[in-house]
Structure 1
């Protein structure tokens, strides 16, 4: 069980075999679209599809451009879709001994600079959501709107299902592959984002989670409650991979967030002037 879960989380090919249809375009390995940007001492691999308003898709831990296959297919006729292999993932190599979200966030920001993209819509899955939050905190001008699914601020027991802690400890003990160890350590020890940093986010944010997510619902509510312009969506009957499990519902909610004015009106705002 531990090995199959490890493979599921860290292997793009397995997750796509479960969740995605066979694409007609070889996303993640497309010579017609694939390019490299030299930034921060590494070469970041990226692909771009479509035209119009830029939409950046950021994959999760162990993923790659290919992980975003269903979302590229859905959005490439609506936006200019930009997808990168984060540092240490896919075709983007890591030259250091460890990975940090700070590094990966700086890499993405630098690639956007090279592409002359001042701001964009952003969607991030899990670790991609963490990077999206870091972009909104550290490089706020880059973020027009941000949606995250299964993101977290810290890897603590009050945030993550305690069974994951046991699984991570076992995996770290049993794994000898240095690449996989980097990804596991990233999950175990990072991120370390103070809740107070969320106050720096000026862009509208959609916090998404599954009601069976590995990230505790209370933590998603904590993030939602501390971001000035935020909405919260809890997908019923969904896990950490809800965007793949219920794509029609996912796209309906995300389309609504990307295209309509965000509402932060409370019930009290509506009823406070009512007279009885």
Structure 2
């Protein structure tokens, strides 16, 4: 059963695909830059690359720092790229019984504070996108701009395609039935997180103050109409739907993804309404 859960995470977040790419630096396991911060009852594993304006990069469910092996070399040229393994994932251990996106968003707030960083640009992928949203909602001063891909507000069929839900549900039920038999709480907690959360009201999106780039693949696991709903409820948002792409937009469109997100961070957000819509 643990193998099934692991397979699910591989399908969803393409961690092995990222790690199979050519890379000389051992991202996610780099003793030259790896460091632990003791915060909020856990030890959060981090790596930092480059110098410049702070850029926080957040991975998805079951992933790790290594998932951004195709982004780090690009962004470290002009940014101080800050990455961490999320609570209960990668090298960040968490033996607690519960796990929520709100906990992880608060972890990132505490991490930035511990690093002496007042605000940062943020990139999030999948669950990392959810964490980005919640960081901007719960700790608005910490987020200067954010760009995220493949995020959802709710875990039901209004957000996730039916065939994806049908793939996940049996594994979730098995995990719930056999949770006491698992040698680790981690797989169970991550599966529970995937199916039962998040639950972010649209009214919370409307409080987000920072310019936001909302991204998704046109064949993502998240419904396109749900992504559009997120876009329309964030006051200063741009929308980018990538054609012929599933959930792994940072891989399938790595060059375009890096360049467009970088340009978004460097460009002043402009309001487009009335006559400006014609240009």
- Output the TM-score relative to the length of structure 1: 0.92
Q: Aligned pair 1:190/2:200, yes or no? A: no
The more displaced of 50-59 and 242-251 is 242-251
Matches within 5 A, 1:78-227: 78-175=78-175, 176=178, 177=182, 178-227=185-234
SS for the counterpart of 1:113 is helix
CA distance in 2, matches of 1:58, 1:110: 14
Match of 1:6 in 2: 8
Shift in CA distance, 7/102, structure 1 to aligned 2, threshold 3 Å: closer
Instruction: Give the deviation of 1:270 after TM superposition.
Output: 2.7
Shift in CA distance, 7/231, structure 1 to aligned 2, threshold 3 Å: closer
8 Å contact 1:205–1:229 — kept in the other structure? yes
CA-to-aligned-CA distance 1:34-73 (integer Å, 9 cap, x gap): 0011111100000111111000100001111111111111
**Segments ≥4 residues shifted beyond 3 Å:** 2-5, 9-13, 173-178
CA-to-aligned-CA distance 1:92-120 (integer Å, 9 cap, x gap): 01121121001111111101100000000
8 Å contact 1:7–1:14 — kept in the other structure? no
Match of 1:270 among 236, 257, 276: 276
Matches within 5 A, 1:19-30: 21-30=21-30
Instruction: Give the deviation of 1:135 after TM superposition.
Output: 0.5
The more displaced of 26-35 and 159-168 is 159-168
CA distance in 2, matches of 1:52, 1:92: 26
Shift in CA distance, 105/7, structure 1 to aligned 2, threshold 3 Å: closer
Match of 1:58 in 2: 58
The more displaced of 137-146 and 257-266 is 257-266
The more displaced of 21-30 and 105-114 is 21-30
Structure 1 unmatched runs, 5+:
none
CA-to-aligned-CA distance 1:123-152 (integer Å, 9 cap, x gap): 000000000000000000000000010001
8 Å contact 1:207–1:220 — kept in the other structure? yes
Match of 1:72 in 2: 72
Q: Work out which structure has the larger RCO, using CA pairs closer than 8 Å and 6 or more positions apart in sequence.
A: 2
8 Å contact 2:53–2:120 — kept in the other structure? yes
Structure 2 unmatched runs, 5+:
none
- Output the TM-score relative to the length of structure 2: 0.91
CA-to-aligned-CA distance 1:163-187 (integer Å, 9 cap, x gap): 2222221112344543222111111
8 Å contact 2:9–2:61 — kept in the other structure? no
8 Å contact 2:154–2:197 — kept in the other structure? yes
8 Å contact 2:60–2:126 — kept in the other structure? yes
Shift in CA distance, 150/12, structure 1 to aligned 2, threshold 3 Å: closer
Shift in CA distance, 210/10, structure 1 to aligned 2, threshold 3 Å: closer
CA distance in 1, matches of 2:172, 2:234: 34
Q: Alignment length, in residue pairs?
A: 269
Match of 1:231 among 231, 235, 238: 238
